[in-house]
Amino acid sequence: MNALILSAGYGKRLKPITLTKPKCLVRIKGKPIISIWIENLIKINAKKIYVNTHYQHKQVESYLKKKRLNTKLKILYEPTLLGTAGTLIKNINYFLNSNLLLAHCDNYFLESLSKIISFHNNRPKKYLMTMVAFKTRKPETCGIIKEKNNSIIDYFEKKKGRNGNLANGATYVISPEMLKIIVDNFSDAKDFSNDIIPFIKDYIYVYKTKKFFQDIGTIRNLNQVNTFLK
């Protein structure tokens, strides 16, 4: 299995921290979140780890080179931001031959990656992709899933209303079959959650984690994570 960790964004909601530091190098309990992702991926023996960069890319690349993972790690620099779907589609040829773990770097959670992958490997055959989901206290800020027996019935991307509180964790295991469907049918997509997920929801199996899950996209969320870990 390969992994693509989306790490190129500006982190605007994390200012002033991200005025001089890219979001993926923001520290959780003293360690950059990109480092936490890489360590967890090495534990599950990911074949290749791809990291896209853009904002403050030289900082990210300098840090990653110090990890000395030349054979395991590949940096995908984007002179112009491609978007969460655009990055996947532009680099699709790297991923077509095996399952791909696609994740947003700014998500921190305690669920075992090996359990998520095992869940995906044992899914019913009609599903071509697995989505990690978690309970959120702020459903209006997330993609919200309505599901039954791990199947998606409906999907609401950051919409107000009583749609539930089971949120898309923006962490996916995608089969080669689904990767081919994506590149064949969504070649112009930019945003994975808006431009792809609603149209393939019938093929997505849902892994509902009960463990701590939090994005670090805001100062408040970052502080919550560090407080929780103390």
Q: pLDDT tens for the chain, 230 residues: list them.
A: 999 999 999 989 999 989 999 999 999 988 999 999 999 999 999 999 999 999 999 999 999 988 777 678 999 999 999 999 999 999 999 999 999 999 999 999 999 999 999 999 999 999 999 999 999 888 877 889 998 999 999 898 876 666 788 999 999 999 999 999 999 999 999 999 999 999 999 999 999 999 999 989 899 989 989 888 87
pLDDT at 106: 93
pLDDT at 1: 93
pLDDT at 163: 72
Q: Domain 2-229 classified CATH 3.90.550.10? A: yes
Tokens of 112: 């075992």
